[in-house]
Amino acid sequence: MSPLLGISLKLISALAFTFMSAGIKAVSANYPTGQIVFCRSFFALIPLIIWLAWRSEFPSALRTQNFRGHMKRGVFGSTGMFLGFAALGFLPLPDAVALGYAGPLMVVVLAVVILKERVRIYRWTAVTIGFVGVLLMLSPYLGSDTLARGLQGGPAIGAMLALSGAFCSAFASVEVRLLTSTEKTGAIVFYFMVLTATLGLCTSLFGWNLPTLKDAALLFTIGILGGLGQILIVQAYRYGDASLIAPFEYSTMLWAVGIGWFMFGDWPANAVFVGAVIVIASGIYVILREQQLGLLRKETREVGSSRGA
């Protein structure tokens, strides 16, 4: 094992996903969310298939014993992707990323309800504190002044979209925990991308916009970055323990602040900063606690922790 290489790959994957999110935000005003979802998922198949072929796992890695499970994961995950991408059109990039961190906290709750996982006081305390951080991040968007103006301003809608997307992604992550017992990583990622691309393509019935050459290149790049980011995550966990690698998922916040400021002039409100720190600290504690209890699954992190995947 080479932990430093694993950490480096995880940081690069986080950067790739953040640039992907920035690209989505850049085109969100001109193209329907379904069109963006299609490009993100369809073009991500290119690096994924090349990678599987290079590992001599294509198409053998795509054999499945639980197609129904893939469908369930795909429905929840694609819904989360639609909502998360839509939120990027309303929110500053760092805010959208930070609100997405509510997802891992929701996974703990859903694991109790769906998987009958036993959670003791330590993790419940961390999750509760984390949700306080989420409420703090929401406060600039759902305060009395904002609600008095109604939701037409956009940011409040964006905040609710981001939180709803995190909830759906949490459901998808729980389903991934079930899939990893019988399915290979390549199959889980591949079928999710195919289903999401198909659902995105269905939205063409409601009208898509013909992209300019520049935007077409950007939409293509969004998909490639998504696929490469996923591959880098898988590789990262091959070089280090999950408890070491997983916390670096939260480096996306640092990338989002820098890229958001440079590309869009976005800067998160103080409440979002403080709330994000609380949520990140809670999330890292949950990761370390699950590792201590033997609950942290490398395979689940490989396919369930990426943004927009």
Q: What is the pTM of this model?
A: 0.93
Say if residues 279 and 41 touch (Cβ distance below 8 Å): no
pLDDT band at residue 292 under the 50/70/90 scheme: confident
pLDDT (tens digit per residue) in 238-275: 888 877 888 999 999 999 999 999 999 999 889 999 99
pLDDT band at residue 309 under the 50/70/90 scheme: very low
Strand ranges for the chain from DSSP E: none
pLDDT band at residue 205 under the 50/70/90 scheme: very high
Q: Rounded to whole angstroms, how far apart are CA atoms 289 and 11?
A: 22
Q: Can you state the percent helix, strand and coil of the chain, rounding each to 5?
A: 80, 0, 20
Q: What pLDDT, on the 0 to 100 scale, is given for residue 277? A: 96
Please count the structural domains in the chain: 1
Residues in the chain: 309
Q: What pLDDT, on the 0 to 100 scale, is given for residue 237? A: 86
Residue 254 lies inside a defined structural domain of this protein = yes
| Long-range CB pairs of 257-262, under 8 A, 24+ apart, other chains included | 257/94, 259/18, 259/19, 259/22, 259/93, 260/22, 260/92, 260/93, 260/94
Q: Rounded to whole angstroms, how far apart are CA atoms 39 and 239?
A: 30
Residue 13 lies inside a defined structural domain of this protein = yes
Task: List helix spans (H) across 115-248.
Answer: 121-142, 144-149, 155-179, 185-202, 213-236, 242-245
pLDDT band at residue 297 under the 50/70/90 scheme: low
Domain range enclosing 259: 3-304
Q: What pLDDT, on the 0 to 100 scale, is given for residue 155? A: 84
Q: Rounded to whole angstroms, how far apart are CA atoms 112 and 277?
A: 25
Q: Rounded to whole angstroms, how far apart are CA atoms 226 and 242?
A: 21
Q: Rounded to whole angstroms, how far apart are CA atoms 267 and 120?
A: 37
Residue 29 lies inside a defined structural domain of this protein = yes
Residue 70 lies inside a defined structural domain of this protein = yes
Q: What pLDDT, on the 0 to 100 scale, is given for residue 1? A: 63
Report DSSP state, residue 210.
P
Q: Does the pLDDT of residue 203 top 90, yes or no?
A: yes
Residue 309 lies inside a defined structural domain of this protein = no
pLDDT (tens digit per residue) in 8-60: 999 999 999 999 999 999 999 999 999 999 999 999 999 999 999 999 989 88
Q: Rounded to whole angstroms, how far apart are CA atoms 176 and 185?
A: 10
Say if residues 20 and 308 touch (Cβ distance below 8 Å): yes
Average pLDDT over residues 132-136: 95
Report DSSP state, residue 183.
S
Average pLDDT over residues 85-109: 95
Residue 162 lies inside a defined structural domain of this protein = yes
Residue 110 lies inside a defined structural domain of this protein = yes
Q: What pLDDT, on the 0 to 100 scale, is given for residue 180? A: 86
Residue 20 lies inside a defined structural domain of this protein = yes
Give Cβ neighbours of residue 253 (< 8 Å, ≥ 6 apart). 94, 97, 98, 101, 276, 280
Q: What pLDDT, on the 0 to 100 scale, is given for residue 134? A: 95
Give Cβ neighbours of residue 128 (< 8 Å, ≥ 6 apart). none
Q: Rounded to whole angstroms, how far apart are CA atoms 42 and 196?
A: 8
Q: Does the pLDDT of residue 140 top 90, yes or no?
A: no
Collapsed DSSP state (helix, strand, coil) of residue 212: coil
